[in-house]
Amino acid sequence: MSEPISMSIRIGGELPAILIEEFISEIADEIFDLYEGPTTEQELRKETNGIIKWAGQANYGECSGIKSFCKEHNLSYIHHCEAVCEYEASISFWVPGMKEEQDIASSQACDPVIRITTIKPYIDLLIEYAKLGDAALPLFIGNEGLGDLIEKSLKQPKKALELIKRQLRKLLPMEPTLPPFTIKE
């Protein structure tokens, strides 16, 4: 069964010229009703030295073949899938060096979003930490929204702020800056 959902993918990095035909074929196989992005080798070559974006519809808004191609050939990408019915909008990205793709919930306008219920425990903790320092940590023992952060912080109070920052970076990943798309002859 298929569910066509609007999506876009921006790609950057260096594509070996020998792979152009395979790359364009992968795009054509997965994105239908394409309304933005090069569809031929000639169009692709005209758009180099910038980030190239393709937009259209894909099955469930996904383009796993394109993403796999990018990973295999060290091309960076940022993929946005729009929301439809029970499917939420999302952003996923990968750049060479990442162990795995990052996923972020997003708005239809492609802005990252986080649920208030997810971030509120951290905001409360930071406010109390600003007032009381390490003495605020025991106040949050058992707070499920903070996971094991409090336990770790109590064991290493001098590292508490760094542990909080690290956890917030996980909760609030930032989209990477993509390198320009180039073709290596």
What is the tens place of the pLDDT at every residue in 12-43? 999 999 999 999 999 999 999 999 999 999 99
% of the chain residues with pLDDT over 70: 99
Domains, the chain: 4-113+174-184 (3.30.70.1270), 116-171 (no CATH)
Over residues 79-96, the mean pLDDT reads 89
Looking at per-residue pLDDT, the higher value among 172 and 2 belongs to 172
Could you tell me if 94 and 11 are in contact, meaning their C-beta atoms sit under 8 angstroms apart? Answer: no
The pairing of beta strand 181-184 with beta strand 102-105: unpaired
Residue type, 111: D
Q: What confidence score (pLDDT) does residue 109 get?
A: 81
Using DSSP, state whether 5 is helix, strand or coil. Answer: strand
Q: What is the DSSP letter of 40?
A: S
pLDDT of residue 28: 95
Check residue 86 and give its pLDDT: 76
Average pLDDT of the residues of the chain: 92
pLDDT computed for residue 1 by the predictor: 59
Q: List 93's β-bridge partners, or say none.
A: 78, 102
Residue 10 DSSP SS3:
strand
Q: Which residue has the tokens 């152009």?
A: 20
User: In terms of DSSP H, where are the helices of the chain?
Assistant: 20-30, 41-46, 64-72, 116-132, 149-155, 160-171
Nearest to 13 by CA among 97, 111, 102: 97
Mean pLDDT of 111-125: 91
Q: For residue 66, what are its two tokens?
A: 């394109």
